């Protein structure tokens, strides 16, 4: 006896929707509640995200309001310093420096 892994995801949902459409074309139940229940079952069964398996550990420290203030002070005091240099100095991600200087961080 062979065991097959049940299909999930968009291909399986597509097949289930095609079966539903075919049933309706062939004179199957056209009541709204029955169709709605079948659609809900398809969505709940096939269209969901799998839980994340693992997360990589953070490589840079978080930008606290204090660090953000210091980043802005250094950028103002040293206008020729690159964002990469500032990020390295504070041990934060370059993107966080950009967000801080653009005003997206506290």
94-99-101-105 Cα dihedral, nearest 10 degrees: -120
Q: Which structural domain range is residue 16 located in?
A: 10-46
Query: Is residue 86, in this structure, part of any structural domain at all?
Result: yes
Cβ atoms of 17 and 42 within 8 Å: the answer is yes
Query: Is residue 29, in this structure, part of any structural domain at all?
Result: yes
Query: Is residue 5, in this structure, part of any structural domain at all?
Result: no
Q: What's the pTM?
A: 0.49
Q: What is the pLDDT along the chain (106 residues), one digit of tens a residue?
A: 444 455 667 777 778 888 877 777 777 656 777 777 777 888 777 777 777 777 778 788 889 999 999 999 999 999 999 999 999 999 999 999 999 999 987 7
Query: Is residue 84, in this structure, part of any structural domain at all?
Result: yes
Query: Is residue 85, in this structure, part of any structural domain at all?
Result: yes
């Amino acid at each position: 006896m062979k065991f097959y892994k049940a299909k999930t995801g968009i291909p399986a949902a597509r097949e289930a929707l095609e079966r539903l459409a075919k049933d309706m074309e062939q004179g199957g139940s056209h009541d709204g509640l029955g169709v709605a229940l079948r659609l809900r079952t398809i969505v709940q069964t096939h269209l969901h995200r799998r839980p994340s398996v693992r997360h990589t550990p953070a490589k840079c420290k978080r930008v606290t309001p204090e660090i953000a203030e210091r980043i802005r002070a250094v950028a103002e005091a040293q206008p020729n310093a690159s964002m990469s240099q500032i990020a390295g100095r504070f041990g934060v991600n370059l993107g966080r420096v950009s967000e801080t200087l653009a005003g997206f961080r506290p």
